């Protein structure tokens, strides 16, 4: 009887050991998967940061007034209007106001 009880106790302890080992391996595998995802996300973040800087440079160039003026004159054929000189007249000197 005592041998039977010791055998059952050994089987129970071995079963618990195997269950804990399985849980440990599952958690370890999940941890590795998460680390790979983190690495992939860091690479993506680096790519997006680089693209953001590149687009920021393009926006800065497009908003540069010297570039806009050069583009308008060169590619679009636009020009500044001719300067017009105006004469200022007072209301007192206008004809028919006397």
Q: What is the pLDDT of residues 59-85, one digit of tens each?
A: 998 888 888 888 888 988 888 888 888
Q: Which residue has the tokens 């497009």?
A: 62
CB 72 within 8 A of CB 78: yes
With both helix axes pointing from N to C terminus, report the angle between 2-63 and 65-74 in degrees, rounded to the nearest 10: 60
Query: Where is 92: in which H helix or E strand?
Result: none
Question: With a threshold of 0.75, does the pTM exceed it?
Answer: no
pLDDT tens-digit readout, 8-59: 999 999 999 999 999 999 999 999 999 999 999 999 999 999 999 999 999 9
């Amino acid at each position: 009887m005592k041998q039977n009880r010791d055998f059952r106790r050994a089987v129970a302890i071995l079963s618990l050991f195997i269950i804990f080992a399985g849980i440990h391996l599952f958690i370890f595998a999940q941890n590795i998967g998460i680390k790979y995802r983190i690495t992939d996300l860091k690479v993506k973040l680096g790519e997006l940061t680089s693209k953001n800087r590149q687009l920021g440079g393009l926006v800065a160039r497009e908003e540069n007034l010297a570039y806009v003026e050069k583009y308008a004159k060169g590619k679009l054929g636009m020009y500044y209007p001719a300067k017009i000189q105006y004469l200022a007249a007072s209301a007192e000197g206008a004809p028919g106001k006397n």
